């Protein structure tokens, strides 16, 4: 299994930020892990052009569940593929919150992604209130089983465990808490997909930065990271890529 360092720029970045891609490629031309950045949709085609022939992969942050049609403002999985994306983040907690995305919708979007031959990065994770109520594993299990698409396998599905309370807050779960959820997700993936479930990458996301990346990557069943803020700067994301390559 090749580990995955993925960056999510969210609604940040302009064409000037593409200079960070060049810097990242220059400092990490051939990392031992996969290296992926998901800029806003407006930058995908430029980013693909900027990174052609390099180890830096480009993905999207969302897609519509339908292949085409009257859905003003939306983008289909096939359009992302056509723009040169190879991956798409789906079911991020910000989309679940801001756009009322349910497991059923996330699953439909993930199925659209697979139909367009994109790798789906399906996000899940508990709120602080859910953790405090002892609901973390039950919630993550229901999000996992409710969101993973038909036809999923270790080549086309990545899971990102992102506790909502750790996103953009500088707070992270303890290494034991991360290990508990990842081990649980691994077991549930094997239940859902059989032996191939062992090969599905499970990323940790939420306040990953150069100073905590190595210890998080040493946790069993952490197969990479989904990085927000620290993915905007080549030096920070490069340090995370280096930590994952060394793990
Ligand atoms: P931060 O790394 O900024 O906490 O964001 C994590 C995230 O939401 C990645 O999808």
Range of the domain at 87: 4-246
pLDDT tens, residue by residue, 49-67 = 999 999 999 999 999 999 9
Interstrand relation of 87-90 and 4-8 (parallel, antiparallel or unpaired): unpaired
Looking at every residue in the chain, the average pLDDT score rounds to 97
Alpha-carbon distance 161 to 202, whole Å?
7
Q: What is the pLDDT of residue 221?
A: 98
pLDDT tens, residue by residue, 152-182 = 999 999 999 999 999 999 999 999 999 999 9
Q: Is the CB of 179 under 6 A from ligand 1?
A: no
Pair 89, 106: CB distance under 8 Å: no
Task: Give the DSSP letter string of 201-247.
Answer: EEEEESS--HHHHHHHHTSTT--EEEESGGGSSHHHHHHHHHHHHH-
CA 24 – ligand 1 centroid, Å: 19
Question: What is this structure's pTM?
Answer: 0.97
Give the count of domains, the chain.
1
The pLDDT of 94-118, averaged and rounded, is 98
pLDDT tens, residue by residue, 175-207 = 999 999 999 999 999 999 999 999 999 999 999
Beta strands in the chain (DSSP E): 4-8, 34-38, 56-60, 87-90, 119-124, 157-161, 201-205, 224-227
Q: What is the pLDDT of residue 53?
A: 96
CATH number at residue 79: 3.20.20.70
Nearest ligand 1 atom to the CA of 169 is: 4
Nearest ligand 1 atom to the CA of 123 is: 10
Catalytic residue list contains 92? yes
CA 228 – ligand 1 centroid, Å: 3
């Amino acid at each position: 299994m090749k580990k995955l360092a993925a960056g999510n720029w969210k609604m940040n970045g302009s064409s000037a930020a593409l200079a960070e891609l060049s810097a990242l490629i220059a400092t990490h031309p051939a990392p031992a892990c996969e290296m992926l950045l998901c800029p806003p949709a407006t930058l995908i085609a430029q980013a693909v052009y900027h990174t052609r022939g390099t180890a830096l992969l480009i993905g999207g942050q969302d897609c519509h569940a339908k292949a085409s049609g009257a859905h003003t403002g939306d983008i289909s999985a096939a359009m992302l593929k056509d723009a040169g994306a190879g991956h798409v983040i789906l079911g991020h907690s910000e989309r679940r919150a801001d756009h009322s995305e349910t497991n059923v919708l996330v699953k439909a979007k993930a199925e659209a992604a697979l139909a367009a031959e994109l790798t789906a990065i399906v996000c899940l994770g508990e709120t602080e209130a859910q953790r405090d109520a002892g609901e973390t594993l039950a919630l993550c299990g229901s999000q996992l089983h409710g969101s993973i698409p038909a036809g999923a396998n270790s080549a086309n599905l990545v899971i990102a465990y992102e506790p909502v309370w750790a996103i953009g807050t500088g707070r992270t779960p303890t290494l034991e808490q991360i290990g508990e959820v990842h081990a649980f997700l691994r077991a549930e993936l094997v239940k859902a997909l059989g032996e191939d479930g062992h090969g599905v990458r499970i990323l940790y996301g939420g306040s990953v930065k150069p100073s905590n990346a190595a210890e998080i990557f040493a946790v069993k069943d952490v197969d990479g990271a989904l990085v927000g803020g620290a993915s905007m700067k080549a030096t920070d994301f490069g340090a995370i890529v280096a930590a994952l390559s060394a793990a």
